[in-house]
């Protein structure tokens, strides 16, 4: 991956999490100076970032006044949606970060939100509002919209959905329909490409996916790669209803034909190393899954 401009400091939010952590590590590997915006500099995850070469900068999205000095001197920012299920809070946090970046003179932001549906509608209202504010305030803004993470198979799941428990992966998706997924490393790679070439990516919104196995095919691939039998089960309507209105609404939209719609082949032109599900399993996923399933 070539770099077409001088490497200025990139501030990474959510650097102790999944997307932010993958992006911070990728930028550091490419030689970019990275400042990790973290609420607590004493956590093990923060210490690991510092050991990898990141400069830790205390900051809290609920304290807008403290964000401007935390972004001082930054050339660019990588941001992910503030974690909350309250739309008003999410929008306030996202706007605070964007406004602080504009005040600090940051000219480029790469903001990773969430995939939209095949109707081109951004289903997450808060993230849609944040995206609009981003384009209004930042001169060189790029939006990444990733689909479901491949690493979700390693997660502990949420109340009986996602992850793998007792050899079963359970979700809303129809068992024999393609389901787009993306590797965290590819989100990081594409973010790095955007930072390296702002003119090419300014104003662009990229739906991100690297592969589209069916849930049954994905379970079979996991079984073959790990040697541990895994099968897929689709949640029933009654089971989905117990998980709350958000899950029910997602299921309703899926049944009306809404789907993620990343153009995987077009993304391969931008990023030829885009990982398939098999690539991810071979690279890191199978080992992580074996450890997870053994536990």
CATH assignment at residue 163: 3.40.50.720
- Within-domain flag for 226: no
Convert 43-74 into a string of H (helix), E (strand) and C (coil): CHHHHHHHHHCCEEEECCCCCHHHHHHHCCCC
CA distance to 5, 187, 227, 292, per residue, from 113 (Å) = 26, 11, 34, 27
Please report the pLDDT score of residue 1 as a whole number: 43
What digits encode the pLDDT tens for the residues 207-218? 999 999 999 999
Give the whole-number percent of the chain exceeding pLDDT 70.
Answer: 95
- Average pLDDT, integer, range 242-264: 91
- Within-domain flag for 236: no
- Within-domain flag for 228: no
Per-residue DSSP letters for 134-186?
Answer: HHHH-SEEEEEEE-EEGGGGGS--BTTBSS-BTTEEEESS-TTS---EE-HHH
CA–CA–CA angle 241, 217, 148 (5° rounding): 55
Range of the domain at 149: 10-216+245-294
pLDDT for 120 beyond 90: no
Label residues 159-192 b or e (16+ Cβ within 10 Å = b).
eeebbbeeeebbbbbeeeebbbbbbbbbbbbbbb
Sorting pLDDT into bands at 50, 70 and 90, what band is 125? confident
- Average pLDDT, integer, range 44-63: 95
- Within-domain flag for 238: no
What digits encode the pLDDT tens for the residues 216-237? 999 999 999 999 999 999 999 9
- Average pLDDT, integer, range 194-201: 97
Give me the number of domains the chain comprises: 1
Roughly what angle, to the nearest 10 degrees, separates helices 87-103 and 125-137?
A: 10
What digits encode the pLDDT tens for the residues 132-181? 999 999 999 999 999 999 999 998 766 778 999 999 999 999 999 999 99
- Within-domain flag for 94: yes
- Within-domain flag for 254: yes
State the Cα–Cα distance between residues 37 and 57, nearest whole angstrom: 5
What digits encode the pLDDT tens for the residues 68-89? 999 989 999 999 977 777 889 9
Reduced to 3 states, what is the DSSP secondary structure of residue 25?
helix
Cβ-contact 86, 62 below 8 angstroms: no
pLDDT for 119 beyond 70: no
- Within-domain flag for 237: no
**26 bridge partner residues:** none
Determine how β-strand 34-38 pairs with β-strand 55-58: parallel
Sorting pLDDT into bands at 50, 70 and 90, what band is 110? very high
Q: Could you give phi then psi for residue 10, rounded to 5 degrees? A: -110, 125
Sorting pLDDT into bands at 50, 70 and 90, what band is 121? low
- Within-domain flag for 234: no
Give the whole-number percent of the chain exceeding pLDDT 90.
Answer: 82
pLDDT for 4 beyond 80: no
pLDDT for 122 beyond 80: no
- Average pLDDT, integer, range 116-128: 74
264-268, Cβ contacts within 8 angstroms, sequence gap of 24 or more = 264/180, 264/209, 264/210, 264/211, 264/212, 267/190, 267/206, 267/208, 267/209, 267/210
pLDDT for 2 beyond 60: no
């Amino acid at each position: 991956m070539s770099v077409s401009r001088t490497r200025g400091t990139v501030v990474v939010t959510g650097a102790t999490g999944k997307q932010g952590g993958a992006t911070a590590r990728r930028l550091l590997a490419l030689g970019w100076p990275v400042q990790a915006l973290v609420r607590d500099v004493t956590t093990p995850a923060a210490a690991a970032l510092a050991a990898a070469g990141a400069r830790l900068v205390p900051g809290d999205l609920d304290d807008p006044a403290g964000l401007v000095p935390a972004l001082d001197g930054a050339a660019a920012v990588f941001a992910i949606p503030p974690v909350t299920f309250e739309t008003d809070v999410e929008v306030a946090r996202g706007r605070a970060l964007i406004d602080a970046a504009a005040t600090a003179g940051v000219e480029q932001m790469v903001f990773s939100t969430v995939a939209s549906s095949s109707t081109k509608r951004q289903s997450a209202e808060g993230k849609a509002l944040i995206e609009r504010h981003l384009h209004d305030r930042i001169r060189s803004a790029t939006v990444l919209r990733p689909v479901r993470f491949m690493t979700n198979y390693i997660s502990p799941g949420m109340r009986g959905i996602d992850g793998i428990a007792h050899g079963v992966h359970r979700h809303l998706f129809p068992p024999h329909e393609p389901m787009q997924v993306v590797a965290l490393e590819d989100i990081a790679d594409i973010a790095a490409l955007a930072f390296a070439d702002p003119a090419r990516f300014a104003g662009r919104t990229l739906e991100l996916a690297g592969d589209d196995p069916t849930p049954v095919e994905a379970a079979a691939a996991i079984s073959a790669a790990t040697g541990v039998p895994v099968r897929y089960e689709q949640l029933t309507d009654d089971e989905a209803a117990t998980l709350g209105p958000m899950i029910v609404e997602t299921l309703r939209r899926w049944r009306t034909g809404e789907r993620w719609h990343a153009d995987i082949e077009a993304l391969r032109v931008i990023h030829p190393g885009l990982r398939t599900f098999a690539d991810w399993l071979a690279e890191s996923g199978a080992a992580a899954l074996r450890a997870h399933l053994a536990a």
